[in-house]
A and B are shown apart, each in its own frame.
Chain A
Amino acid sequence: MSATTSITDDAGAVERTRALLTSADTGRRRTDRAMTVLIYGAFTLAVIPLVSLLWTVVVNGIERFNGDFLFTSMRGVFGGMDMGGAYHAAVGTLMITLTATVISVPIGLLVAIYLVEYGRGALARATTFFVDVMTGIPSIVAGLFAFALFTIFLGPGAKLGIIAAVALSVLMIPVVVRSCEEMLKLVPNELREASYALGVPKWLTIVRVVLRTSVAGITTGVLLSIARVIGETAPILITAGVSDSINFNPFDGRMMTLPVYIFSQYRQGPVPCREDALDCLVGINFDRAWAAALLLIIIVMLLNLIGRLVTRWFSPKLR
């Protein structure tokens, strides 16, 4: 008797539990589906222009992208001649960006160390504020600043790679400070204390523990800041000018860079060829611009690849 009741009771309990566990919350399910569609939609929308951009650059640029383009300059090239390349612009881009990095990274890193390890009170707050303000400086203003600065020393109209590098540093420093600051803040305080407790002075703790632990993140931050400035055109155009020749020395003479090269090639537009000219390509300037754009993207990708390797090499390993 009692056994039967308990069985029926159990059956009822199973039913109730099943109802409890399977009852579909239709409202939530609908929201879930709607959000899924929305998120995938937004993702696709974001990826379309990116893929389209890469595709266009590769398709338009691959035609002229060859050894000849990579290793010749524009010296003595005119009209619709089927020659000329972006070697001088690639050299200029690398030299100017490297110089800018050499200027910005020590300054930016030291400022970040000050803010995280030492800075207190008004000076630190003011520094943070002005770094934020600097982040918003339009690049052309940075260019004008560098131009005006060197006008004081060299007189008006000086065009050197170093001036462009200074302009780019003005843009780079705040990015380096911000990213390094975030990375240094991520280093657990316990590690600093562990180091102090071993009788290690503060400066050695910063150099050997804090920077060593955060080097992977700092590398990423530096590379992001390089990516931020490597495509700048306007400040370089007014500080390093335009050139057709190869120049490795940022302290002597004008320098071409890839973005300026792209700009000046594109601006020249189609070549007015004579009917009977054999060695004349109408669209050569556009082709060179696209190939240079492809080269610029490849350089940035290579830098990112190197950064990833550095990050992997230095980041703390678990076993």
Chain B
Amino acid sequence: MAQRIDVKDLNIYYGDFLAVEGVSMTIDPKSVTAFIGPSGCGKSTFLRTLNRMHEVIPGARVDGSVELEGVDLYGDDVDPVAVRRTVGMVFQRPNPFPTMSIRDNVLAGVKLNNKRISKSDADELVESSLRGANLWNEVKDRLEKPGSGLSGGQQQRLCIARAIAVKPQVVLMDEPCSALDPISTLAIEDLIQELKKDYTIVIVTHNMQQAARVSDRTAFFNIAGTGKPGRLIEMNDTATIFSSPAEKATEDYVSGRFG
């Protein structure tokens, strides 16, 4: 189910501005890969190119290639909508649809696409997705209540349930815990450990302890200065990045000397 991502020489532009330069990396299936680095270094921008979400911003474009199991996501015959169904995403701020109930939020990927689904299949999908997001026991008695009535941490898990309900191969998470308290963060981190059994997980985080806790591999991004493009400095097993990184900049960052 989970798939592998190969990125080769990826440059990301906003109009004429080169935002991220020359990224090449391999993201292993059924693992958690964390992106760390200072603000503005392009890790979120890079993450969004993995499911072509950056194209929502006018003028954004890339060159280079992003391959999912060898298929270039930027190939001519590839539909960005299909890419986003295969590579799901969870955002920084929980964003359940305010007009929908908890149940409808989980089914959003099906319902918004006007797909027909039988009641029993829908019930099953809701339960399995909510169980997958460790939310089922908390909300099973109020599925028809609005999603915006949940706490921030529950809303974020609802968003994860919504993302996995469309059965993606890869789940991207853009700082999923930065708006949450430590308890909710712990719940999400536990969930990430379970999700990696089935999915390829890529997570952007500002919290280095979080990267150390949840990820198998860590990529460090940095930026030389304002106006310069962000670059991938180093990528390795998380333990290596945090104990004996190859680059001086990585060591300075993970040891708290800057950033």
Query: CB within 8 Å of B: which residues of A?
Result: 120, 188, 190-201, 204-205, 208-209, 212-213, 314, 316-319
A198, A208, A209, A319: the one within 8 Å of B149 (CB): A319
B58, B84, B114, B166: the one within 8 Å of A204 (CB): B114
Whole-angstrom distance between the alpha carbons of A190 and B174 in the complex? Answer: 13
- A194-B97, A213-B98 known; 16 other A-B pairs, CB under 8 Å? A120-B58, A188-B95, A191-B98, A194-B95, A196-B84, A197-B51, A197-B53, A197-B91, A198-B109, A198-B162, A198-B163, A199-B109, A204-B112, A208-B112, A212-B99, A213-B97
Whole-angstrom distance between the alpha carbons of A317 and B101 in the complex? Answer: 9
Q: Is the beta-carbon distance between B88 and A204 smaller than 8 angstroms?
A: no
Residue with the greatest number of chain B CB neighbours at <10 A, chosen from A196, A199, A316 = A199
B85 within 8 A of A: yes
Whole-angstrom distance between the alpha carbons of A247 and B109 in the complex? Answer: 49
Q: Chain B residues near A205: list those with CB within 8 A.
A: 112
Q: Is the beta-carbon distance between B56 and A193 smaller than 8 angstroms?
A: yes
B152 within 8 A of A: no
B53, B58, B112: the one within 8 Å of A200 (CB): B112
Contacts A194-B95, A200-B81, A213-B99: A318 and B146 contacting too (C-beta < 8 A)? Answer: yes
Whole-angstrom distance between the alpha carbons of A156 and B134 in the complex? Answer: 73
B128 within 8 A of A: no
Q: Is the beta-carbon distance between B146 and A317 smaller than 8 angstroms?
A: yes
Whole-angstrom distance between the alpha carbons of A204 and B113 in the complex? Answer: 7
Nearest CB of chain B from residue A239's CB, rounded to whole Å: 40
Q: Chain B residues near A314: list those with CB within 8 A.
A: 99
Can you sample 23 A-B contacts with CB below 8 Å?
Answer: A193-B53, A193-B91, A193-B95, A194-B91, A194-B96, A194-B97, A194-B108, A195-B97, A197-B88, A198-B84, A198-B113, A198-B166, A199-B83, A199-B109, A199-B166, A201-B81, A201-B113, A204-B113, A208-B114, A209-B97, A213-B99, A318-B146, A318-B149
- The secondary structure that dominates the A interface is helix
Nearest CB of chain B from residue A212's CB, rounded to whole Å: 5
Residue of B nearest to A319 (CB): B149
B82, B98, B148, B149: the one within 8 Å of A199 (CB): B82
Q: Chain A residues near B166: list those with CB within 8 A.
A: 198-199
Q: Is the beta-carbon distance between A191 and B56 smaller than 8 angstroms?
A: no
Whole-angstrom distance between the alpha carbons of A194 and B100 in the complex? Answer: 13
Residue of A nearest to B86 (CB): A199
Q: Chain B residues near A197: list those with CB within 8 A.
A: 51, 53, 84, 88-89, 91, 163
Nearest CB of chain B from residue A211's CB, rounded to whole Å: 10
Nearest CB of chain B from residue A209's CB, rounded to whole Å: 7
Nearest CB of chain B from residue A16's CB, rounded to whole Å: 41
Query: CB within 8 Å of A: which residues of B?
Result: 51, 53, 56, 58, 81-86, 88-89, 91, 93, 95-99, 108-109, 111-114, 145-146, 148-149, 159, 162-163, 166
Q: Chain A residues near B99: list those with CB within 8 A.
A: 212-213, 314, 316
Q: Chain A residues near B89: list those with CB within 8 A.
A: 197
Q: Chain A residues near B81: list those with CB within 8 A.
A: 199-201
Q: Chain B residues near A195: list those with CB within 8 A.
A: 97, 108, 112
Whole-angstrom distance between the alpha carbons of A192 and B55 in the complex? Answer: 13
Contacts A194-B95, A205-B112: A199 and B56 contacting too (C-beta < 8 A)? Answer: no
Q: Chain B residues near A201: list those with CB within 8 A.
A: 81, 113
Q: Chain A residues near B95: list those with CB within 8 A.
A: 188, 190-191, 193-194
Q: Is the beta-carbon distance between A198 and B58 smaller than 8 angstroms?
A: no
Q: Chain A residues near B111: list those with CB within 8 A.
A: 208
Residue of B nearest to A199 (CB): B85
Q: Chain A residues near B148: list those with CB within 8 A.
A: 316, 318
Residue of B nearest to A190 (CB): B95
Q: Chain B residues near A317: list those with CB within 8 A.
A: 146
Q: Chain B residues near A191: list those with CB within 8 A.
A: 95, 97-98
Q: Chain B residues near A120: list those with CB within 8 A.
A: 58
Q: Chain A residues near B83: list those with CB within 8 A.
A: 199
Q: Chain A residues near B51: list those with CB within 8 A.
A: 197
Whole-angstrom distance between the alpha carbons of A204 and B53 in the complex? Answer: 16
Whole-angstrom distance between the alpha carbons of A204 and B110 in the complex? Answer: 12
Residue of B nearest to A316 (CB): B98
Whole-angstrom distance between the alpha carbons of A103 and B114 in the complex? Answer: 28
Q: Is the beta-carbon distance between A319 and B108 smaller than 8 angstroms?
A: no
Residue of B nearest to A198 (CB): B109
Q: Chain A residues near B98: list those with CB within 8 A.
A: 191, 213, 316
Whole-angstrom distance between the alpha carbons of A14 and B36 in the complex? Answer: 53
Residue of A nearest to B55 (CB): A196
Q: Chain A residues near B109: list those with CB within 8 A.
A: 198-200
Nearest CB of chain A from residue B58's CB, rounded to whole Å: 7
Q: Is the beta-carbon distance between B112 and A198 smaller than 8 angstroms?
A: yes
Residue of A nearest to B88 (CB): A197
Q: Chain A residues near B159: list those with CB within 8 A.
A: 194
The 9 closest A-B pairs by CB, nearest first: A199-B85, A316-B98, A197-B89, A319-B149, A198-B109, A190-B95, A199-B84, A200-B112, A194-B95
Q: Is the beta-carbon distance between B146 and A190 smaller than 8 angstroms?
A: no
Q: Chain A residues near B96: list those with CB within 8 A.
A: 194
Q: Chain B residues near A208: list those with CB within 8 A.
A: 111-112, 114
